[in-house]
Amino acid sequence: MTTTIATTTAESVAESKPTQEPQTQAEDTETKLNNKPEGYDFFRNVLKSPKYVVAPMVDQSELAWRVLSRKYGADLCYTPMFHARMFGDQSNSGYYRDMWEDEVETGQDRPLIVQFCANDPDNLLRAARLVEDKADAVDLNLGCPQHIAKRGHYGSFLMEDWDLVYKMINNLHRNLKIPVTAKIRVYPDVEKSVEYAKMVESAGAQMITVHGRLREQKGHKTGLCDWNKIKAVKEAVKVPVIANGNILYFEDIQRCIDATGVDGVMSAETNLYNPALFSGLNPPVWQMADEYLDICRKIPTKPVYIRGHLFKLFRQALPNHIDIRQRLAEAKSLEDMSELSGILKERLQKQQAEDKEYDPSKIYIDEFGYRIYPSYLCQPAIRREFDKYNSQGEKPLGREVYEENIVRVDYSKFSKSKENNGDSVTDKSQNPDEPKGEKRASSPSIKQNDGKPKKNKVKESKQERIKKISSCLLCSNVLSPKCTRHLCKNCCRGLTKSLESETPSIPELPENALKQRLEFEWTAATMPFCETHAPKVFKKSNKTTEIDDKARQETIKQES
């Protein structure tokens, strides 16, 4: 009897094991989800309280660049933004391999946050699960302002869809083994920006990066970042906040922290021009190029990424070395780019050796508050004020000066001019004890008036001037090469609509448009029909096709 009971008990225990094991695995998974670090516990213990952060940058924050940035002080790095749907699509495994497999197993790239763009909670979770064992957190991009983000309905173009944003973040928070973070932009209204950040926090984001610019601030309209809105967000949420925007120099990092109270500062564009930003250095550009190329020899990196980084590093020097610039644009391999980098290095080292006037112990400031460096040193790109007629104006955005031991460059006796097809600058001080400087690219071009008589230039005819114009005749934007009207795409389409109306007329032009540039006005009769840009909804009409290019040229001759 006893034996029978014992056997039955053993059998029952044996039968119960298979049913208990799955429950134990499920409990373990649930335990990991529930016990993952959150908020400042995550920030301090997992990310190690990062103060200096390299931003996620498409085709730019790849592994080799992150390794270089970490060497010079970066505490935390983000991957480039990955497309969640394509990344997690098993039928499109090529995208995943191309974007991710080369990024792991190096031992040099932690802590690391992987960023995705998405507009579907399931697609985002599927992609995030592929990297949850290979990264420290997953970030949702809610700040990309580019047109492709508008077309794909992601990034900053989700700012009107709070419900979807909440669902995506909350889905990761509940189902992912690692924390979820978010990178956002701000609204024109401070209160709405704060409410948006609080919603992101309530959804489960354990850290928020705030780019203090509006969605409309991009390209030539980028302008300055609003630290006050970042401060308002920091004061309203309980999770760590990283600030992004207006970081040009190492000293700006602490100024931003003091002004906003944030836990860390992220750099994007400035990091590309000076990867040693977080170390407080402005090293020679060839030094950074050599170190980056050495890393690329050890870590396979796409040539298109390498070329892009070299153009950023050599940005201030290339206008004075046009032959290298052209060859670099055509280079296809790491070896070719290394060779060109070596040639440019020799030239810049010679320039540095001959420069006896630049004193690294002093800070040279232009009239707009920006530092002036020789073209052979790493330095940030200076944004310029938006010009509604020419996209980018000549005047840089103003900046307050906080530095000590500065030498201000006197511009009062100089006249502006452009040299070498770039924004290079020659600064010469009235004080003989101050360095006379050399061509620099950190401020508007200036040229000393040496008192020499100006040469009389032969005045060109209007027809000759037209032949040299490479921009739209109406708005000064880039000329469309296929347009028979010598206009940009937008102007050509707008003109087509006007000519096809019942009362054809030239659209309203900017004040500095054709009349000022060519000193005569177009009439409707001088514009031929353009097959390239005419909208499909409009058809040719007799009145717009009667005048061909030959007649147009005759009209120009008569006007001139």
Q: How far apart are CA 315 and CA 309, in angstroms?
A: 10
Q: How far apart are CA 424 and CA 426, in angstroms?
A: 7
Which residues is 407 bridged to in the sheet? 364
Q: For residue 422, which phi and psi values (nearest 5 degrees)?
A: -135, 180
Q: How far apart are CA 129 and CA 175, in angstroms?
A: 9
CA-to-CA dists, residue 375 to 159, 299, 300, 428, 546, angstroms:
40, 29, 30, 16, 54
Q: For residue 319, which phi and psi values (nearest 5 degrees)?
A: -60, -25
- Length of the chain counted residue by residue: 560
Say if residue 366 is exposed, middle or buried (CB neighbours under 10 Å; 0-12, 13-18, 19+).
buried
CA-to-CA dists, residue 69 to 53, 74, 285, 292, angstroms:
9, 6, 14, 10
Q: How far apart are CA 49 and CA 41, in angstroms?
A: 10
Judge contact between 327 and 95, C-beta under 8 A. Answer: no
DSSP state of 513: S
Closest CA to 182 of 194, 165, 162: 165
Q: How far apart are CA 531 and CA 534, in angstroms?
A: 6
Q: Tell me whether the omega of the peptide bond preceding residue 380 falls within 30 degrees of 0, making it cis.
A: no
Exactly one of 117, 144, 378, 483 is catalytic; name it: 144
Question: Residues near 3 by Cβ (< 8 Å), separated by ≥ 6?
Answer: none
| Catalytic residue flag (residue 492) | no
Q: How far apart are CA 184 and CA 504, in angstroms?
A: 46
Q: Estimate the share of the chain in helix, then strand, then coil, as percent rounded to the nearest 5.
A: 45, 15, 45
Instruction: Give the residue numbers annotated as catalytic, written as ranges.
Output: 144
